[in-house]
Structure 1
Amino acid sequence: MLACGNSICPTEITREIQHFISSTSPARVATNAGDGFVKSVGNPMGSAALVSELVAAELAVWFGLDVPPFAVVHQCDIEIIMRKNGHPMAPPLFFSSAVEGIPRDGTDVFLQRLRDKDCVSRLVVFDTWIRNWDRYYGGDANSDNLLYVQASVHKYDLVPIDHSNCFIGGNANFPDGAAPDGWIEDGGVYGKFPEFDDFITNDSVNAALTKLATLEREFVGEVVNSVPLAWDLGPSARTGLIDFICARATYVVDTLAQKLIDEPPFPGF
């Protein structure tokens, strides 16, 4: 079962709360299912950003990451203007629930208090798989895209948000066909904030890669084919994206461990 609309399903946007002049010009809105953030077709980054959000969120849930509940909203009866380009938002909109959390601060204070410390390695494997350059890549950090959300008095959950810049790097559109080999065999490590190093272990990396190795093409196809037609992902682009996600998973499973962990010792040493 896909995760979109499964745990939250807003059907009515009642008012705009706040607008943001960032790359996709999102807005925080109130809905009949609670507050959240919406992004629309016609945003400055193009429809590829919406495709990336939806597909990455589905893959994240499958991979065991705590992304906020999300949905596609098919009706919006109020006018919401994207401040960055002056265009009105138009459904279907990508909706992500608002969660209260503390943005990444560069220390290990919250990492030490995670309920599940293995999620650190899982996030790095995930961001590398989907080529998410908008959290941490090449020394450039976007700390707003990683939240620590309080789960109990003393424990926190690691909650990644905003996946509008994944898969295709800085390109404006998904290719109408096969992805370049350079995307599939991109050897970079993504999402590995410096303070993560002490929390990346052999066991947690191997567990994440073992999970990734179970990825089935049928599931990926279901995810990609759930993208609304209005988001301009044509048949050839859909097939190319499915192929890319699966091939990229195989490449990451085969190559990433040696970049993240030391070789395990020989028995008896």
Structure 2
Amino acid sequence: MKRPYVVEAKEILRQSTQGRTKPFIIRDANNDQYVVKGVNGVGQQSLVSELICSELARRCELPVAEYALMRFPTGLLDFSTEPRAGDLEGGMAFASKVAPHSQDLLFSLIGEVDEGTQQRLLLFDIWINNEDRCLSSQGGNVNLLWSAVSGLVVIDHNLAFDPINHTGNFENHVFSHQRERFADLEIRARHEAVLDAALNDWDMITDLIPLEWLYRDIDDETSEIQPTLAERFNLLVRLRDPSFWSLI
């Protein structure tokens, strides 16, 4: 089975001052730049969410940022001048490839995004319980990038599945105005089929997760981090229950 692309860090360029997670910008051995989150910085559960959602989003034909797993050569973190380089310790890090010539999606640019993509992303975020994509004329935390050349790039899913038993409020979602379109059963069926097909790959997706992200003690299968993979699957499988659409 194909594993996630693994890259080796070469140079820690800086730590971001934006966002709650304060990720690092790191150059890899091929001179590509990545936005990187480490186990010690954001926690195992966040990295599991990032990987699962990136894989699901790709299967749902959403323009999610390319990602890789990043490892660090001996000494790179120990001798870094970055005061919080220790945030990158704990095992493999999640690395999202930098989208060139992009900026945060502005409220004034929402209309540039294809309506089908708006609907799919709204539904996707409700499905994975990701409330962290808000934008209004007063601003927000949109976690979407926009480039006049390459269009929309979807990033940041570290808060998905959290909390696992809570129905989120998506009134402030950047594409909340698309909710009424799901009253059209043809539109609903089209998007539902794509999400359902993605969920069929669940076992394949979870097999990609590094073991050090899943357990507090990798020799003890009872020490799985919360929410567990089973709890995450149970959240997603509600898509197949007609009551799911009452959330839209």
SS in 2 for 1:94: strand
The answer to whether residue 8 in structure 2 is matched with residue 15 in structure 1 is no
Q: Which amino acid in the other structure matches residue 243 of structure 1?
A: A
The within-5 A match list for 1:143-162 is 143=142, 145-151=143-149, 157-162=151-156
Q: CA deviation at 1:54?
A: 1.2
Aligned match of 1:248: 235
In the alignment, the residues of structure 2 paired with residue 81 and residue 244 of structure 1 have an alpha-carbon distance, to the nearest angstrom, of 40
The within-5 A match list for 1:148-187 is 148-151=146-149, 157-169=151-163, 182-183=165-166, 186=167
In the alignment, the residues of structure 2 paired with residue 122 and residue 3 of structure 1 have an alpha-carbon distance, to the nearest angstrom, of 27
Aligned match of 2:191: 208
Q: CA deviation at 1:58?
A: 1.1
Q: 1:26 to 1:142 in 2, by over 3 A?
A: same
Q: CA deviation at 1:225?
A: 3.0
Q: Which amino acid in the other structure matches residue 30 of structure 1?
A: R
Please list every run of 5 or more consecutive structure 2 residues that lacks an aligned counterpart in the other structure. Answer: none
Tell me if structure 2 keeps the 8 A contact 1:82–1:89.
Answer: no
Taking every aligned residue pair, what percent have the same amino acid on both sides?
A: 20
Q: CA deviation at 1:71?
A: 0.9
Tell me if structure 2 keeps the 8 A contact 1:58–1:223.
Answer: yes
The answer to whether residue 100 in structure 2 is matched with residue 103 in structure 1 is no
In the alignment, the residues of structure 2 paired with residue 223 and residue 97 of structure 1 have an alpha-carbon distance, to the nearest angstrom, of 19
TM norm structure 1: 0.71
**Bigger shift: residues 226-235 or 87-96:** 226-235
Tell me if structure 1 keeps the 8 A contact 2:119–2:179.
Answer: no
Please list every run of 5 or more consecutive structure 1 residues that lacks an aligned counterpart in the other structure. Answer: 170-178, 261-269
Q: 1:195 to 1:220 in 2, by over 3 A?
A: closer
Aligned match of 1:93: 93
Tell me if structure 1 keeps the 8 A contact 2:14–2:82.
Answer: no
Q: 1:256 to 1:98 in 2, by over 3 A?
A: same
Tell me if structure 2 keeps the 8 A contact 1:81–1:88.
Answer: no
The within-5 A match list for 1:41-120 is 41-43=39-41, 45-77=42-74, 78-79=76-77, 80=80, 83=83, 87=86, 89-90=88-89, 91-100=91-100, 101-107=102-108, 110-114=109-113, 116-120=114-118
| Count of matched residue positions in the alignment of Structure 1 and Structure 2 | 232
Deviation per residue, 1:21-55 (Å, 9 max, x gap): 44333110111341111111211x32211111111
Q: CA deviation at 1:140?
A: 9.1
Calculate the aligned-residue CA RMSD, in Å.
3.4
The within-5 A match list for 1:114-129 is 114=113, 116-129=114-127
Question: Which one of 1, 26, 34 corresponds to residue 23 of structure 2?
Answer: 26
In the alignment, the residues of structure 2 paired with residue 92 and residue 198 of structure 1 have an alpha-carbon distance, to the nearest angstrom, of 38
Q: CA deviation at 1:220?
A: 1.1
Q: 1:188 to 1:222 in 2, by over 3 A?
A: same
Aligned match of 2:141: 142
Aligned match of 2:211: 229
In the alignment, the residues of structure 1 paired with residue 131 and residue 175 of structure 2 have an alpha-carbon distance, to the nearest angstrom, of 15
Q: CA deviation at 1:142?
A: 0.8
